[in-house]
Structure 1
Amino acid sequence: MAQRKPRINWQLEGVGKTFLEACIHELTLHGREGSSLKQASWKNVAEKLKQEHGFIADQRQMKNRYDYLKGKFSAWTKLKNKTGNAYNSVTNTFDFSEADWEIEIKSNKYVEALRRSPLAYPELCVQLFEGSSSHGFDSWGPSSTLPHPSEEVSDHNLNVVEDIECTQMEPPTEGASEESFVGSKNKRGPSAQDSKNKKAKIKRRFQHSTETIHRCFHEVLNAMMNFAREVIVPTSNNAITNISERHRKLKQIFPGAIGALDGTLIHASIPVDQQTCYRGRGKGECFQNVLGICDFDMIFTFVWAGWEGIAHDSRVLKEVAFNPTSNFPFPQPDKYYLCDAAYTNTRGFMTPYRNTRYWLADFRRQRALTKEERFNHAHAKLRNVIERAYGVLKARFPILKQMAPFPFSIQRDIVIACFAVHNFIRKCNIHDQLFMDFDENNMFSEIHGGESENEFVQDIEWGSHSIEYMNTLRDEIATQLISNVPN
């Protein structure tokens, strides 16, 4: 039997500072691999620690320390920037009451570490981690109890309007990358003649000046945020929605289900020097992670947009659900949302069995056999409604697949506006070919929410009783399926 490696003491004098400085040095020279350092860089950091302190640590131990400090820094940043916080910059501590600490700890386990000891060397942590971790500062949803954070009118936004309108009139050449689209103005500013030609094209198209177009755009977008508050609202826990007979039968298997919950990645246009925390699922492209809940008629009942693409779905749910300003629609005690395995199976959120076939494509080759597989198959067919709802949304609004380079807050609002229009069409029973096309159980999205920020994958502190309750309920449904319901 292999011997367990002894724990190492990162509190030894000078070790923590040397570790951070060495990581910053490697980051400056060689860049990142994902959200961490490259393998060769870890070897150099280990050698630096050994030379200066006789401190021996392997790559896994250093990576664990890096992830811990990154999580603690993220929690520190969030608390420090929180409105009305009691941060003392002299002592680098937070003057919270016990009740306030408990609230913050419930939503982020790293807050407990901050309560025990301040973040060491915050200036170095800023250099190392800022821009590589998600925090959701720009996130917002129409259910928020806070006013909508409006974007100020600026000359930069006027130029963006010009770029967008001209791009739409003259599509970019095939293969144009996001970086070239976003960063073109950084490399070479448009000539005076280019700007003059752009403004002339816009004026001819709309018969108005770019200033007027820009002002109207923002007026309409702000109005759409108010409209979103009216049309993206929770439905009654006992509401009978206009669902097909097939889904009505599935609903009988899950009588407490009131909708489906999932995250989705929406393309984002981000300046090159800020892209690290927006690169979702290691795809190289930038995304924002959007949390959505829909009922079984593909109507979204909750939307929260603007999280960085690197953020894991479970973390976004945790942060939003325990944010007192989000007005998150927790189900009644006997109700629940259907979620995929990225989330915790706990009261209010029913997930499939893990390490068992789940996705619909998995059952095309072989029928469900065990009770766990039968449960997962039925769960996937009913939960698939949110995949189809996202499919309708992205098919209707191509901008969600290639976002224009507005300031990020505007990109977030455009996403919310698209959700609002989606709901309006569905609620008004407007005959719509897209809804008809996606109203089939075999249509599902290929892109799910962010999953690359593994160090932040944490179960929400629901409590063991809540988890045990939902595990028991899931087993009861699975047993009923294997006993009474044919596949």
Structure 2
Amino acid sequence: MADKHRKKKMIIALAIKKLLNAYNTNALFFLMTHNDPVIRTHDSFRSLADRFGVSTSTAHTCCGNIARKISLHLVKRFIKWPRNEALDSVTQGFLEKCKLPGVVGAIDACHVRITAPQINPESYYNRKKFHLVNLQAVSDNRLLFLDIFVGWPGSSHDARVFKNSPLFLETAENAIPCNKYILGDAAYPLLPWLMTPFKDYGTLSREKQNYNKQHSRGRQVVERAFGQLKGRFRRLILFYVHKIELLVYCIVAVYVLHNVCILNDDEINDFCEEPDINVYDGLNEDRESGILFRDDLVRYLSQ
């Protein structure tokens, strides 16, 4: 079993290295984040530099350079919305999981704890009493990330981040076909292409309770995706950062590497992190068209 696991890790490493070698001969530094049992945990750049016999500043430079290369050149190749047969496969996968037709993904947000950045550190100081940066993402039924939005201060509510994201402002109109939608929790607004659960004050009908149950089953995929992301890249537990721009490059890069791992059948369920708990404060307004579409789904499940 151990030999099989090591062989799979080598396949993942070779796949990633093949992608990165075209951009930077020092890609191995970033590869170590995933494949080394120590560096993928919370270890210092000094330890990483010692392993390669270079200075700490060189290790910083190499990791920063390859993170930028991945973010600028590989993100569109590996983080994208499904089309044609791939879209049909995703909707079928969700249908089997939660009985809801037309689901193309699930959206959620989580936080990465960081040290205080040089610019506007107070903006990143969260109710949890430390500095955070917000990560918003949509994943499919295979735990592949389809859309990401990284870098907003952790003090911002999920709804505010969402309404300032490219997904809300422009992407969804072109990426999500008519009569298709994503699933989100109560932190998000109810839209024709974003279905949220009914608020339960103890008076929901059986049909609406069933809808909420199936909705929860489908939405859990994005929580698992975040869990695997943080399980693979333990640096996301606490990120030492001075410049938010570099932090964003690094996080986008690990999103890409996560998808590469999924596409190569690398599973690490034993290392999944617990999902963040969202706090809902009524910042959203449901749209009438979204309400009508959700009611149609309730009737569909009742048939």
TM-score bin, normalised by smaller chain: 0.7 to 0.9
Residue 43 of structure 2: which of 158, 168, 174 is its match? 168
Q: 1:263 touches 1:448 (CA, 8 Å); kept in 2?
A: no
Alignment of 1:204-215 (within 5 A): 204-215=50-61
Q: 2:248 is matched with which residue?
A: 412
How far, CA to CA, are the matches of 1:202 and 1:426 in structure 2? 25
Cα distance change on mapping 1:203 and 1:403 into 2, 3 Å: closer
C-alpha separation in 1, matches of 2:211 and 2:247: 38
Residues 286-318 of structure 1: CA distance to partner in whole angstroms, max 9, x if unpaired?
111111011111100110100011111111111
Q: In 2, are the aligned partners of 1:261 and 1:291 still within 8 Å (CA)?
A: yes
Figure out how many residues of one structure are paired with residues of the other and give that number.
259
Aligned-partner residue type, residue 287 of structure 1: L
1:197-276 to structure 2, matched below 5 A, reads: 204-225=50-71, 226-236=73-83, 239-241=87-89, 247-251=94-98, 253-271=99-117, 274-276=120-122
Structure-2 separation of matches of 1:248 and 1:437: 27
Against the structure 1 CA distance between its residues 271 and 220, is the aligned structure 2 distance closer, same or farther, given a 3 Å change threshold? closer
CA shift in 2, pair 1:284/1:369, >3 Å: same
Deviation at 1:213, TM superposition (A): 3.0
Indicate which of 152, 165, 176 corresponds to 1:320.
Answer: 165
The residue aligned with 1:129 is none
Q: Deviations over 1:227-275 (max 9, x none)?
A: 2232111112662447997x54245x32121111112112122148843
**Residues 321-400 of structure 1 correspond to what in structure 2 (within 5 A)?**
321=166, 327=171, 330-356=175-201, 370-400=206-236
Segments of 5+ residues of structure 1 without an aligned counterpart are: 1-163, 171-197, 358-367, 439-443, 461-466
Unaligned runs of 5+ in 2: 1-38
Alpha-carbon separation, structure 1, partners of 2:220 and 2:48: 42
**d(CA) in 2 for partners of 1:418, 1:204:** 23
Q: CA offsets per residue over residues 14-51 of structure 1, 9 Å max, x none?
A: xxxxxxxxxxxxxxxxxxxxxxxxxxxxxxxxxxxxxx
Report if the CA contact (8 A) 1:295-1:301 is conserved. yes
Q: What is the distance in 2 between the residues matched to 1:421 and 1:383?
A: 22
Larger relative contact order, structure 1 or 2 (CA cutoff 8 Å, min sep 6) = 2
Counterpart for residue 24 of structure 2? none
Structure 2 letter corresponding to 1:254: L
C-alpha RMSD of matched pairs (Å): 3.4
Of 135, 146, 151, the residue aligned with 1:290 is 135
Counterpart for residue 10 of structure 2: none
TM-score normalised to structure 1 length: 0.47
Structure 2 counterpart of 1:286, which letter? H
1:272–1:285 Cα change, 3 Å: farther
* Alignment match, 2:5: none
- Letter aligned with residue 317 of structure 1: F
Note closer, same or farther for the CA distance 1:404–1:232 as it changes in structure 2 (3 Å cut).
Answer: same
After TM superposition, the score normalised by the length of structure 2 is 0.73
Q: What is the CA distance between 1:468 and its match in structure 2? A: 2.4
User: Structure 1's 203 and 275: CA in aligned 2 closer, same or farther, altered over 3 A?
Assistant: closer
Deviations 1:170-205 (A, max 9, x none): 9xxxxxxxxxxxxxxxxxxxxxxxxxxx7xx77653
Going from structure 1 to structure 2, the CA distance change for 1:437 and 1:211 (only over 3 Å counts) comes to: closer
Letter in 2 for 1:331: I
CA distance in 2 between counterparts of 1:421 and 1:387 reads: 18
